[in-house]
Amino acid sequence: MVTTPSADAVADGPRRLRLLQLAALTSTCDRFAIAPLLVPIAMSFGVPLAATAGAAGGYFLAYGLMQVVWGVLSDRIGRVRVMRIALIGAVLGGLASVLAPTLPVLIGARTLTGACTAALIPATLVYVGDSWPAAVRQRPLSDLLAATAVGTALATAGAGLLADLAGWRAVFATTAAAAGILLVALRALPEPVPAEPAAGATAPDGPRRWWSILRPVGTVLGTGWARVVLALAFVEGAVVLGVLTYLAPALQAGGSTAALAGIAAGGYGVGALVFSRVVRRLVGRVPAPGLAGIGGVFLAAAWIGPIVVVHPVTIALAGLLLGGSWAFLHSTLQTWATDVVPQARATAVALFATALFLGSSAGTALGAPLADTGRFPALFLAALVVSVPLGIGAALARARYARRRPPGTQT
């Protein structure tokens, strides 16, 4: 049976949303801080850039693989409780990153941190799905996207500047402290009341069998449209987040400082923030396939400048356009993920994030050889080749999904 949020939950929405935004911002800062640090870390340990890319790739891989684990746990023990448990691990991983004496230890510490911060953003998305009706859900999701945009801008620009001033270890100390503050702040966030029971859930006095934990995963993977969303998320992760990692190193390879490279790459956060406000106003006016199509255009256009020449202006413009793509295309896919299997929403969102960050890890790994040899224009050209069918495919698939939905449901 589908329920609506209580009057208290609706009235308390802004305060809850602010806490969810803080969680999204903290997670994003930690995740995006690594890009401008790759070159300083390589210089610190005396290793090639391709080796330090493992710190980013390991983080993204663990971030993706742990999504399902945290998603299933959040269905069983609660969204907020999962976030607070994960934050304890994030603090420990951050401290280990600060103290890492060798690159393998650092990669292990960043992998642990990624595995733990993996719980935050999916839990906030599911919280929104539990608490806001589908007709207006993309608006609070856009607010969360704005928080991630701010986090991205702070991380890419601030991490590079802080690394120049105090060293790369200071960046990880800062993100670990932020995770500790969030751990305390989330004590004020109540658990949501889901609109639908989780697939595989049992009544309090009913039987519990170990395989019931996997039932939501089977429910999602057994849904054709869910598989389409997951495939699109994987490709988006590879071409956006995976290649985005190399915007700052592309400038640093040409002699730019970590601070300048981070500021230029921070255009991504600015674009996501600005265009997420635009998306928020367009929800309900422009259909979801149209939003996805606009995002695809932004994505393809982002790579044209850096293909021609790697320069602070072209990198900043690429970041800005990638942020616009994230606001339009990603928010559409993200909203779709919260709707495609409502009876297993947490698991669907978790698998969506898993696909996204497995794609990101794959994109980072595939791009490392080109980045290590300085062939960044070739890397950005490959991203353009993938971006065009991704944008077209996402728009067409979302339009077909809207036509096939039962009459009277949201699109």
Give the pLDDT score at 167: 92
CA dihedral 394, 398, 401, 406 (to 10 degrees): 160
Weakest mean pLDDT among 39-43, 195-199, 225-229: 195-199
Weakest mean pLDDT among 153-162, 223-232, 306-315, 364-373: 153-162
Q: Quickly state the pLDDT bin for 177 (edges 50, 70, 90).
A: very high
More confident site: 145 or 209 = 145
What does the buried/exposed string (b/e) look like for 62-79 if buried means 16 or more CB atoms within 10 Å of the residue's CB?
A: bbbbbbbbbbbbbbbebb
Instruction: Locate 334 and state its tokens.
Output: 């993200």
Give the pLDDT score at 200: 46
Length of the chain: 411
More confident site: 15 or 8 = 15
Residue 319 has pLDDT above 60, yes or no: yes
What DSSP designation does 341 have?
S
Please name the residues in contact with 67: beta carbons below 8 A apart, sequence gap of 6 or more.
Answer: 118, 122, 350, 351, 352, 353, 354, 357
For the stretch 286-298, pLDDT in tens is 898 999 999 999 9
Q: Are 173 and 319 in contact (CB under 8 A)?
A: no
Q: Quickly state the pLDDT bin for 87 (edges 50, 70, 90).
A: very high
Share of residues in the chain with pLDDT > 70 (%): 89
Helix, strand, or coil (residue 222) = coil
Tell me the C-alpha distance between 23 and 277, whole Å: 19
Over residues 379-398, the mean pLDDT reads 96
State the pTM of this model. 0.73
More confident site: 97 or 265 = 97
Three-class secondary structure assignment of 246-310? CHHHHHHHCCCCHHHHHHHHCHHHHHHHHHHHHHHHHECCECHHHHHHHHHHHHHHHCHHHHHCC
Q: Quickly state the pLDDT bin for 138 (edges 50, 70, 90).
A: low
Please name the residues in contact with 271: beta carbons below 8 A apart, sequence gap of 6 or more.
Answer: 149, 319, 320, 321, 322, 323, 324, 326, 327
Closest to 30 in 3D by CA, of 1, 55, 2: 55
Tell me the C-alpha distance between 341 and 397, whole Å: 16
Q: Quickly state the pLDDT bin for 194 (edges 50, 70, 90).
A: low
Please name the residues in contact with 24: beta carbons below 8 A apart, sequence gap of 6 or more.
Answer: 120, 121, 124, 144, 147, 148, 151
Q: Are 151 and 124 in contact (CB under 8 A)?
A: no
Give the distance, in angstroms, between the CA of residue 367 and the centroid of all CA atoms in the same chain. 19
Weakest mean pLDDT among 47-51, 65-69, 131-135: 131-135
For the stretch 221-279, pLDDT in tens is 888 999 999 999 999 999 998 898 889 889 888 888 878 888 888 888 888 888 888 88
Residue 14 has pLDDT above 60, yes or no: yes
Closest to 70 in 3D by CA, of 307, 355, 349, 298: 349
Q: Quickly state the pLDDT bin for 201 (edges 50, 70, 90).
A: very low
Q: Are 50 and 372 in contact (CB under 8 A)?
A: yes
Weakest mean pLDDT among 67-76, 130-139, 291-300: 130-139
> Is 165 exposed, middle or buried (CB count within 10 Å of its CB: 0-12, 13-18, 19+)?
exposed
For the stretch 350-362, pLDDT in tens is 789 889 988 988 9
Weakest mean pLDDT among 116-125, 202-211, 270-279, 316-325: 202-211
Distance set, CA 262 to CA 35, 243, 315 (Å): 8, 15, 10
Closest to 145 in 3D by CA, of 251, 278, 256: 278
Q: Are 299 and 389 in contact (CB under 8 A)?
A: no
Give the pLDDT score at 69: 84
